[in-house]
A and B are shown apart, each in its own frame.
Chain A
Amino acid sequence: MPLLENGRLVEDTWHYAIEGEPLGNGDVIVPPERLSEGLGRTAGRLGVALPNGEPASSLKAALPKLSLVVVTFPIFRDGRAFSQARALREHLHFTGQIRAAGHVLPDQYEFLIRCGVNTVEVAENADLSVWTRNLKQFDVAMQPSPVLDEKPTGFALRRLLNRAG
């Protein structure tokens, strides 16, 4: 699946663990129930796909050893993953990659980034120009991001959105 970072396609070095098969040595994303198996490996980086209903704090113990957490949108209207991503950054100080997967709209791209997500899995046939456009739609936000240190602009709570790409 194409992977977007800062509005650009990037190479995806990660693969999802396949049920019933060994994890292998590469960069692998496991479900929480295979976390200890993943942590027992000696080679390759480890990521976890956090189920939608699970609190981010369930990963607290493992987080220092994780390089990636996937937050999932079963449908774009279900906004719990925004709070999961935000909590991973804000409360658990996770500095690795947070990836959004599932049913996400380009119209949500800025929200994702401002909640701490840095990569997004998009559909194979996605029009990437729409994603790029949405990233540059607004110059300002009306409130501080809970996780990014955006520059205040003007007065009040506004923040300058300084987008690359």
Chain B
Amino acid sequence: MSTETMTRAEAAPATLPVGHYGYDAVDRAFLRERIEQFRDQVNRRISGELTEEEFKPLRLMNGLYLQLHAYMLRVAVPYGTLDSRQVRALARIAREFDKGYGHFTTRQNIQFNWIRLEDTVAALEVLAEADMHAIQTSGNCIRNVTSDEFAGAAKDELLDPRVHAEILRQWSTLHPEFTFLPRKFKFAISGSPHDRVVARFHDVGLIARPGPHGRPVFEVFVGGGLGRTPIVGVSLRDDLPEEDLIAYVEAVLRVYNEFGRRDNIYKARIKILVQALGADEFRRRVEEEFVAMDRARYRLEPAIVEAIKARFGTPDFAPESNAADVLAQDRSRDAAFDAWVRTNTHEHKVPGYISVVVSLKPAGGIPGDATAEQLDLLADLAEEFSFGELRVTHLQNVVLGHVRQDQLHTVWQRLSQAGLGTANVNFITDIVACPGLDYCALANARSIPIAQKLSSRFADLELQREVGEMRINISGCINACGHHHAAHLGILGVDKRGEEAFQITLGGSGEKDASIGQILGPAMSEDDTVNAVARLIDFYLVRRENGERFLDTYRRVGTAAFKDVVYAPA
């Protein structure tokens, strides 16, 4: 059967997944072909036809890393949206190929840390059965496009960015020109004026808003990033029309592919090129390429966008008229539930509905880890209460996007029974941490144990509520996968004469007021760092004025006073 007849045969699918693109036979055939290609590559590696140096980039582009103790498989979750069937497939991989759990990442993906090379093709086949893959979750190519965890649900959203995220996903998949870039390349896209995707810290960050004739326009940020050299991205275009989206990002990537440095892995990201050329010269080169292109060839016609959009399932909202009243009664009857609702929910655009953030940060736990049983429960809850849809957040939690307010108490009870009811979202124990030296070959220090110690130290929910909104991020090395620079309080693991040690950074933010955290002083041991954080929090509680967050007090009071708290002799 040709691919064309398959397309027609599947032209009108019975049901489409809510919140993400529904595969058709062509997409499925493509995944099968990709798996066959990878099987062939593994065989050629085993036969010695491919050297390890040659095999490495090929396996990385299928999401397969070699870590300290085992292979790690990073599964793509395009724009962070999954359906129940996919979540169950992830649970199956955790059970059959890993040690019974998976780890959600800051790129809205999930990774499995204990995969055997000989199982990877089988694992990819399990993923493919659920329309999932690990394509371009690593390597010097265009990575998974991340998006807003409240997309399609948030009251403040102007448009759902996931349709354009899917267009970027398809366009970038095995792109012939951009699969061997100087370094990795990350897109994020938001459709809300409240930037929840950290757009200014991405290689390309897109903020979509409604434009003329009912079509969106995009603000384009380029050259942001964390890592060794944290830089806030520059705005290249404020009003890019939808029809030019593909042409313009192609132009950006062409300039990067041609001029980006390849002599030094640490200077190879686009942010270094943008800084070296200056924003104006970089913009000029992009514009020069952009005007030279045959734009008709790259035009993103509204019909194309609508065809992709038509393969997204949409929730059939049917709010109960008394949903808000039921929720209010449940809250007044149950204080613990009320506390959870205050921290772990987000306002929904449809009255009677609410979005739920499920914390994967239990007291003393490993940030972002979920067991196979928890994954199965999340799949069940998504199916029963949220149109079968589950989202991954860049802060390593998960979201049930569309829960009826009158069913929220039931959802909370079910979550709590599985250890998923922690009421700490955006609090001090809602910690982001990279895998660190427990898994990662690049790390200088372990991120997980210090995250667990901090989580235990501040486990008291009364204290957490008193401290209020507080972001702690932990990276095990200067590659900054834990995004410590973008945290109100960042912790960076370093190697201090063969010992693990930790630096504290203060004042970072990944939101609209984006800023890069500054190093407070010399690195300390794990326990000293935990104690230093406690002293910083005490100091903030004394010095804060009218409802300030930790970040606000730090910005007002300044570094010196905070530094004294940690380093001045008592």
Chain A interfacial positions (CB closer than 8 Å to B):
55, 76-80, 82-83, 86-87, 90-91, 105, 107-108, 110-112, 114-115, 127, 130, 133-134, 137-146, 153-158, 160
Contacts and interface: CB of A to CB of B under 8 A. Distances in A.
B194 interface: no
A76 B54 contact: yes
Contacts of B531: none
Interface residues of B, number: 47
B304 A156 contact: yes
B129 interface: no
Contacts of B167: 156-157
A105 B33 contact: no
B262 interface: yes
A80 B202 CA distance: 22
Among A78, A111, A143, A158: residue with most chain B CB under 10 A: A143
Nearest to A55: B258
B7 A142 contact: no
Contacts of A108: 180
Given A154-B4, A155-B307, A156-B170, A79 B178 contact: yes
B317 interface: no
Contact of B173 (A82, A127, A134, A142): A142
Contact of A142 (B3, B171, B294): B171
B304 A157 contact: yes
Nearest to B173: A142
Given A115-B177, A130-B44, A142-B30, A154 B308 contact: no
A76 B54 CA distance: 8
A159 B157 CA distance: 33
Contacts of B176: 82, 110-112, 114-115, 141, 145-146
B170 A143 contact: yes
Contacts of B180: 76-79, 82, 108
Contact of A105 (B54, B177, B304): B54
A83 B49 contact: no
A140 B176 CA distance: 12
Contact of B37 (A90, A134, A142): A134
Contacts of A105: 50, 54, 58
B29 A140 contact: yes
A70 to B, nearest CB: 18
Given A79-B177, A90-B293, A146-B177, 6 more contacts: A76-B57, A78-B262, A83-B254, A145-B176, A146-B250, A157-B171
A108 B139 CA distance: 14
Interface in B299-327: 304, 307-308
Contacts of B179: 79, 111
Nearest to A84: B258
A86 B258 contact: no
Nearest to A52: B262
A78 B181 CA distance: 7
Contacts of A86: 177, 254
Contacts of B3: 139-140, 153-154, 160
B33 A111 contact: no
Contacts of A87: 254
B519 interface: no
A79 to B, nearest CB: 3
B121 interface: no
Contact of B177 (A111, A134, A139, A155): A111
Interface in B211-225: none
Contacts of A114: 176
Contacts of A157: 167, 170-171, 246, 304
B24 A154 contact: yes
10 contacts: A78-B262, A82-B178, A110-B176, A112-B176, A115-B177, A137-B36, A138-B37, A141-B176, A155-B7, A160-B4
Contacts of B12: none
4 A-B pairs with the lowest CB-CB distances in the bound complex, closest first: A79-B180, A114-B176, A154-B7, A111-B176
Contact of A153 (B26, B34, B297): B26
B349 to A, nearest CB: 27
Given A78-B262, A142-B174, A156 B307 contact: yes
Contacts of B281: none
Contacts of B294: 90
Interface string B7-39: 100000000000000001010011001101100
Contacts of B175: 143
Contacts of A155: 7, 304, 307-308
Interface string B238-278: 00000000100010001001100010000000000000000
A137 B33 contact: yes
B40 interface: yes
A157 B175 CA distance: 12
Among B40, B175, B176, B250: residue with most chain A CB under 10 A: B176
Nearest to B308: A156
B292 interface: yes
Given A115-B177, A158-B26, A79 B171 contact: no
Contacts of A91: 292
Given A111-B179, A146-B177, A140 B26 contact: yes
Nearest to B61: A107
A115 B258 CA distance: 14
Nearest to A146: B177
Contacts of B24: 154
B140 interface: yes
Interface string B60-93: 0000000000000000000000000000000000
B374 interface: no
Interface string B118-141: 000000000000000000000010
B41 interface: yes
Given A153-B26, A157-B167, A79 B257 contact: yes
Contacts of B174: 111, 138, 141-142
Contacts of B40: 130, 133
Contacts of A82: 176-178, 180, 257
B257 A83 contact: yes
Contacts of B173: 142-143
Nearest to B300: A157
A153 B7 contact: yes
B401 to A, nearest CB: 24
B258 A77 contact: no
Nearest to A82: B177
